[in-house]
Amino acid sequence: MDGRLRALAIRSLFLFLLSLVLVAGFWYHREFYQIGFTNLLIIGGFVTFLVIWAARLAMTGELPRGRPSGELAFTLEEGDRLLKRVARFVVRPSEGLGAPAAGHVVRAKYETGTEFARLLIEDARRAFLSDLTDEDARQAGFRSAADLRDAGTSRWRWHPEDVVTILRVRALGGTR
């Protein structure tokens, strides 16, 4: 099944179960709500507000991992490699990096500013640029560490003694 359909099915199932729990709760407390319209309005209204809120979060993909924070800019080729899952690593200069901690979601944008995906950060580490291995480069979609360094040198003017952050990411889906 397509990843997006599966995610939609899971989110819908979650919402349905939540609705069942709510109905059961209302039924269980039916006598309590009979004591007056005001109680029902306040408590029922609050619970329904929570449900709508949860539904909004679930449908925008912010559950269960929370809202995305930070953003990473990619060239068209890099973005394409990530979406096709050819690349899983993202290598960026550490200073001023706008990515959140591991386990969080970051917005992936093209350099033109268009968001093309949300990326779950599965792992992260720091390394000196000179310590990058060919395997790191291959995981980032480059043929060798030298290729990766060359690409970065023209883009960020980095030096061998610079520190880079290597993020292992997974694309969660398309633009919302």
AA letter at 112: T
By CB under 8 A, is residue 31 in contact with other proteins? yes
Here's the x/- map for other proteins, 66-95, by CB under 8 A: it reads as ----------------------------xx
By CB under 8 A, is residue 102 in contact with other proteins? yes
d(CA 3, CA 52): 24
Q: Is the Cβ of residue 23 or residue 163 nearer to other proteins in the bound state? A: 163
Phi, psi of 11 (to 5 degrees): -65, -40
Nearest Cα residue to 157 out of 138, 125, 129: 129
The 3-state DSSP class for residue 57 equals helix
By CB under 8 A, is residue 101 in contact with other proteins? yes
d(CA 108, CA 125): 19
The 3-state DSSP class for residue 89 equals strand
Q: Is the Cβ of residue 6 or residue 125 nearer to other proteins in the bound state? A: 125
By CB under 8 A, is residue 21 in contact with other proteins? no
Please, what is the minimum distance in Å from the beta carbon of residue 94 to other proteins?
Answer: 5
Q: Segment contacting other proteins (CB under 8 A): 48-56, 119-127, 133-141, 145-153?
A: 119-127
Please, what is the minimum distance in Å from the beta carbon of residue 90 to other proteins?
Answer: 12
Please, what is the minimum distance in Å from the beta carbon of residue 29 to other proteins?
Answer: 8
For residues 83 and 120, the answer to whether their CB atoms sit within 8 Å is no
State the Cα angle at 53 between 12 and 42, rounded to 5°.
120
Member of 131, 173, 174, 175 binding other proteins (CB under 8 A): 131
Q: Segment contacting other proteins (CB under 8 A): 73-81, 111-119, 149-157, 162-170?
A: 162-170
For residues 89 and 167, the answer to whether their CB atoms sit within 8 Å is yes
d(CA 71, CA 109): 7
**Chain positions contacting other proteins, by CB under 8 A:** 29, 31-32, 35, 94-96, 99-104, 122-128, 130-131, 163, 165, 167
